[in-house]
């Protein structure tokens, strides 16, 4: 059972009055968003409660941020509190009148010496006012809490916030904003990431992208996860007799130093097994890749058509109208 936010907030205020001042604040990675646009919130937790490890992170979702989906996190239990919205929003032609009000990642362990990120996405209503939008957040530890709930200039424990900007971000533009042409992690550059729309009840979907290793050391893509499917795998296509079949690469996919490896339909690809629901064209599918040396990175795959061989580049043609 999740306690009410208001009660925890009260308790937290008592604790933080006694605790040492925070050295760094809980913040969002991307500090600007467009009204009416989707937004991927990456909440950064820089330290524990005093010196204690954090076991729970709770984020409040205020009115106006809808169609919210949190990203599961290994080692943490994910729960949401849902309820009716004050307003009705329209998402890709569907009316949305209820949704996530609070997200909790619990039963984790984030020592004070470490840092971590908690991710959720949603859409800012185009009826919101431009300006600062707060996502109050609370860290819970064994004997205390850190409540990032302050609002306004000079707040002691400021709530993580993002500045909302009017105009310039239409339905299509946010797809481009969510899918940068290029993602860099360590010596690796990832481009052209996309997935394909699926038929209803399809059990699997594929993920495609190009990875360039600009470094002097061999690298290996060793894992993939996505909240849209039960399991992510790395596959290759290979001849078995005279039949082309796909099979898993349990050791991962090598990205030799100085080389580019393309994951594409008919070749190497990411495979999302056990889809939670069908993927529609234009959907944003967050995918977390783990590399042996460079570590982990999450990027958005935009769903192109069911038979697409490349990202749906024509979205950019809709910008600016
Ligand atoms: Cu496959």
Which of helix, strand or coil describes residue 35? coil
Contacts of 310 (CB under 8 A, 6+ apart): 192, 194, 304
pLDDT at 285: 93
Q: How far is the CA of 258 from the centre of ligand 1 (A)?
A: 26
Q: Strands 182-185, 229-240: parallel, antiparallel or unpaired by DSSP?
A: unpaired
Ligand 1 centroid from CA 230, angstroms: 14
CA 197 / ligand 1 centre spacing (Å): 15
Q: What is the pLDDT of residue 311?
A: 78
List residues bridging with 112 in a β-sheet. Answer: none
DSSP 228-241: TEEEEEEEEEEEET
**Centroid of ligand 1 to alpha carbon of 28 (angstroms):** 35
Question: Could you tell me the distance, in angstroms and rounded to a whole number, from the CA of residue 229 to the centre of ligand 1?
Answer: 13
CA of 186 to the centre of ligand 1 (A): 27
> What residue ranges define each of the domains in the chain, with the CATH number in brackets?
5-165 (2.60.40.2230), 179-313 (2.60.40.1890)
CA atoms within 13 A on the CB side of 270: 26
Question: What's the pLDDT score for residue 176?
Answer: 44
Angle 8-10-14 (CA atoms, 0-180°, nearest 5)?
A: 110
Which pair of tokens denotes residue 264?
């594409």
| Confidence (pLDDT) at 167 | 62
- What is the pLDDT at residue 6? 55
Q: Which of 226, 263, 269, 229 is nearest to 248 (CA)?
A: 269
Using the mean position of ligand 1's atoms as its centre, give its distance from the Cα of residue 269 in Å: 6
Q: Residue 180's pLDDT is what?
A: 53
Ligand 1 centre and the CA of 195: distance in Å? 12
Please report the pLDDT score of residue 225 as a whole number.
Answer: 95
Can you name the residues that pair with 177 across neighbouring β-strands?
none
Q: SS3 of 54, please?
A: strand
Cα(180) to centroid(ligand 1), Å: 25
Residues of the chain with pLDDT under 70: 1-23, 167-180, 312-321
CA of 223 to the centre of ligand 1 (A): 14
As residues whose CB is below 5 A from the ion ligand 1, the structure lists 235, 246, 271
Q: How far is the CA of 203 from the centre of ligand 1 (A)?
A: 11
Specify the pLDDT at position 7: 52
């Amino acid at each position: 059972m999740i306690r009410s936010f208001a009660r925890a907030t009260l308790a937290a205020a008592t604790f933080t009055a006694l605790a040492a001042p925070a050295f760094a604040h809980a913040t969002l990675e991307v500090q600007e968003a467009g009204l009416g646009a989707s937004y991927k919130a990456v909440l950064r937790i820089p330290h524990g409660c005093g010196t204690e490890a954090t076991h729970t992170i709770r984020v409040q979702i205020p009115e106006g941020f809808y169609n919210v989906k949190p990203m599961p996190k290994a080692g943490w239990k994910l729960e949401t509190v849902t309820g009716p919205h004050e307003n009705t929003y329209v998402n890709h032609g569907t009316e949305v009148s209820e949704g996530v009000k609070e997200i909790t990642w619990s039963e984790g362990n984030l020592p004070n010496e470490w840092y971590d990120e908690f991710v959720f996405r949603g859409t800012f209503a185009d009826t919101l006012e431009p300006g600062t939008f707060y996502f109050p957040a609370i860290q819970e530890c064994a004997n205390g809490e850190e409540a990032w709930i302050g609002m306004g200039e000079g707040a002691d424990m400021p709530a993580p916030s993002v500045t909302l900007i009017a105009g310039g971000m239409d339905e299509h533009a946010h797809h481009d904003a969510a899918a940068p042409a290029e993602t860099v992690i360590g010596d690796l550059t990832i481009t052209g990431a996309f997935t394909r729309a699926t038929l209803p009840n399809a059990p699997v979907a594929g993920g495609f992208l190009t990875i360039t290793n600009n470094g002097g050391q061999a690298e290996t893509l060793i894992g993939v996860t996505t909240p849209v499917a039960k399991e992510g795998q790395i596959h290759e296509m290979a001849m078995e007799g005279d039949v082309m079949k796909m099979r898993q690469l349990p050791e991962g996919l090598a990205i030799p130093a100085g080389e580019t490896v393309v994951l594409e339909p008919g070749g190497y690809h990411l495979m999302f097994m056990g889809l939670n629901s069908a993927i529609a064209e234009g959907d944003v599918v967050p995918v977390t890749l783990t590399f042996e040396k460079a570590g982990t990175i999450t990027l958005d795959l935009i769903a192109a058509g069911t038979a697409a061989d490349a990202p749906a580049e024509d979205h950019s043609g809709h910008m600016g109208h």
